[in-house]
Chain A
Amino acid sequence: MNDKIRNSAMAADPRTLVDEKIVLAFLSASLAYVLIAMLAGLLYSLQFIDMYPFAGIEFWSPGRWRFVHTQGVAYGFIANAFLGALHWAVPRLTRHPVLDRRLSWFIFFAWQAILVATVVGVLFGEAQALEWGETPVWIDPVAQLGLILVAINFLTPILKTKGPMYVSLWYFIAAFIWTPLVYAMGNFLPEYVIGGSAAGAIGGLFIHDLVGLFVTPLGWGLMYYFVPIILKKPIWSHGLSLVGFWGLAFFYPLNGIHHFLYSPIPMFLQYGAIIATIAVELVVTTVIINFFGTIYGRGDALRSNLSIRWFYIGMVFYFTTCLQCAFQTTLTFQRIIHFTDWVVGHAHLVMFGVFGFWIMGLMLYLLPRVMHVDEWYRPRWNHWHFWLTGIGMLIMFFDLTSAGLVQGFLWKALAPWSDSITASKPFWLIRTISGTAIIIGQMLFIANVFMTWRLSKSGALQSTPTQHDPTHEDDAGAPALA
């Protein structure tokens, strides 16, 4: 270990701060769910090209497997991966361990139990009618409790820090407050308290906030932590970080109703949501500028470091989705694209193209460190993983966006409904193919992780702490020092 950094950090060796086993556990669970969720999505997509293999069997009802797809991605893949990365980043940033490691493990097992119960529940037709709130009613309170425990576990070390906090921690604090609130709002109000169009407004707020106040702040917080560490360079502008954080916190929650434009929700609220959405795009631009300012002069890292490549391609996609959003939220675009595959393309680009990509970058960085290996079983497979996923994602995005335009204009032209289906089928075929490419990419990665893990057990790729890869050294210093 580098003594200087260690001394200035005052605290113990980060290896004792961080429970590496739990990081590995969360990341492995995340990989399991990305595979399950994607296979469920692939299965559902076969329905659209008349190739559904299990037609007419209740358990394989395509609609139910779509729940597995969306729930699996949000709560299985993304939530697990973020929890893993947070168990690594928060203790290092604060130099305090999480409140209690046993609590972390309890959360881990409880969360997996919640996920399994959700999957089983929706497959037996117990879903609820709210996107991302489909979790059966009897699981909602447990999941709510889990989220509160997560917040307590991580907020404790954060609150123990003294002096100014690094950007990542702003995002984390906010996310730990927002997530339980958002979950409670979406899973209890529309079901038990409020009905009708007003509940529609809350539903819009929920699906939007889940992306904006749970996934986005955790994602950006992790980027602010890992990008400077890997590049060994401080973030470009502290001022812009402030603009980005406060702009997001203010404008993002005000967007909810833009999911239901032209609905019976009062028009002035719809206008307000549209304006706030366009404002978010401006805020996002400042964040993107900040990150590109950071990598400026270190462009070679895009070639040499796969994590950085995942991160920055994800950021390009992030900018794309937000730019797209600024247009698609306008009433002019809404006339055509609402209810079409355009929206589906947008959703995939955000959830996988951005956050999925960041998570893959995080895995590439974290997994070798928590498995204590210096190299991957097959480094080339990771490149295949990147290119298959990246190209698949791009094709899927353009394919679904174009499909949306075709559908929207056919509907407007009052073409018979079946025309819009016939016209969509080629697009749906391409979607299935691009999705398959993405899945093959993930399978290669998972196989690589598994083989690396096996070899790490047998000691073949093992590194001893004394002859440690120098790139591991910088882990000790949190960027808070910079």
Chain B
Amino acid sequence: MFETKSGIFLIAGLGFFMLAFVVMALIPISIYSGESEQSVEEIAADGLTHEFVDLAERFPEKFNEYFGKPDPKSYAVALRRGHKIYVGEGCWHCHSQFVRPVSNEEQRWGSVSYASEYENELQRPVLFGTRRVGPDLIREAARRSNDWHIAHFYEPRYTVPTSVMPSYRWFFDDDGYPNRDGMSIITYIQWLGSWQPEYPYWTGEGPPPALKADAAPDAAGSEENV
């Protein structure tokens, strides 16, 4: 059995592979089978982030050209595109999207990740990440203002002098304003964590646009996490 073709073929080749597949894949699948996956349209129907609205207000002409009105439909388009860029540029090689319950990560980024956050189309395949060169991004929504992100994507060293993040000039038009890709990636980044109860977590100047007045600036948080 141990040295015959059929033994190796059936037991080691197929048998052990299937066993591992059952244990390591089918069990988690069955555990989470109750959770249904949200599509991007369903996410967008839950409401826009105010950062998305802010983009529309700040760059009305370009926004109108790229996305039309800031409504669930255009929000879904921007999220999808932002997600594709996040994947295609390999952002996930430098940024994780999962806060662990150890190493004081809760204090640095916010509440620990839980399974249902990942049950949506934009986590397919799941973007847990493999390496943190930059900080985790799953609680990024509204941590920074759109302006901060615009400056940061154009040249990360403008906002964080020690940064090793690449500059993404092609997210911008020649006039220096974000183009379709730039607005999409910012929309996507500002969505990450916007489903959390602690959102909005506004740290920019003044009150957040189109929003309740209760979001007080939290300067300490932003400096510490640079």
A interface list, Cβ under 8 A from B: 47-50, 52, 55-58, 61-64, 66-67, 122, 125-131, 133, 158-159, 164-165, 170, 173-174, 177-178, 181-182, 185, 189-191, 194-205, 209, 213, 242, 245-246, 249-250, 253-254, 256-257, 259-260, 262-266, 269, 272-273, 334-336, 338-341, 343-344, 408, 411-414, 416-418, 421-422, 425, 428
Contacts A129-B125, A196-B118, A272-B23; is A340 near B132 (CB within 8 Å)?
A: yes
Cβ of B219 under 8 Å from chain A: no
Q: Other than the known A57-B169, A61-B89, A196-B120, what 10 A-B pairs have Cβ atoms closer than 8 Å? A: A48-B133, A125-B88, A126-B88, A128-B87, A170-B8, A196-B123, A196-B124, A198-B25, A198-B29, A339-B131
Cβ of B14 under 8 Å from chain A: yes
The number of chain B residues touching the other chain, given as a range, is: 35 or more
Residue of B nearest to A256 (CB): B24
A418 near B123: Cβ-Cβ < 8 Å? no
Task: Give the residues from 94 to 132 in chain B that come closer than 8 angstroms, CB to CB, to chain A.
Answer: 94, 96, 98, 100-105, 107-108, 113-121, 123-132
B interface list, Cβ under 8 A from A: 2-5, 8-9, 11-14, 16-17, 19-21, 23-25, 27-29, 31-32, 35, 37, 84-94, 96, 98, 100-105, 107-108, 113-121, 123-135, 160-164, 166-170, 223-226
6 nearest A-B pairs in the assembled complex, by CB-CB distance:
A63-B90, A253-B20, A177-B13, A125-B88, A249-B12, A56-B169
- For B166, the chain A residues whose CB sits under 8 A away are 47, 52, 55, 61-63
- For B86, the chain A residues whose CB sits under 8 A away are 129
B88 near A158: Cβ-Cβ < 8 Å? no
A242 near B92: Cβ-Cβ < 8 Å? no
A64 near B118: Cβ-Cβ < 8 Å? no
A197 near B24: Cβ-Cβ < 8 Å? no
Report A183 CB to chain B, min CB distance, Å.
12
A199 near B125: Cβ-Cβ < 8 Å? yes
Which of A52, A125, A246 interacts with B12 by CB under 8 Å? A246
- For A338, the chain B residues whose CB sits under 8 A away are 100
- 30 A–B contacts, CB within 8 A, in A order: A56-B167, A56-B169, A61-B90, A64-B90, A67-B90, A128-B87, A130-B125, A133-B125, A178-B17, A190-B126, A196-B126, A197-B28, A197-B115, A197-B119, A198-B32, A200-B118, A204-B24, A209-B20, A249-B11, A262-B101, A262-B102, A263-B100, A269-B23, A334-B102, A339-B130, A340-B131, A417-B226, A421-B162, A422-B162, A425-B164
Which of B3, B84, B126 interacts with A195 by CB under 8 Å? B126
B87 near A129: Cβ-Cβ < 8 Å? yes
Q: Give Cα A425 to B124, complex, Å.
A: 33
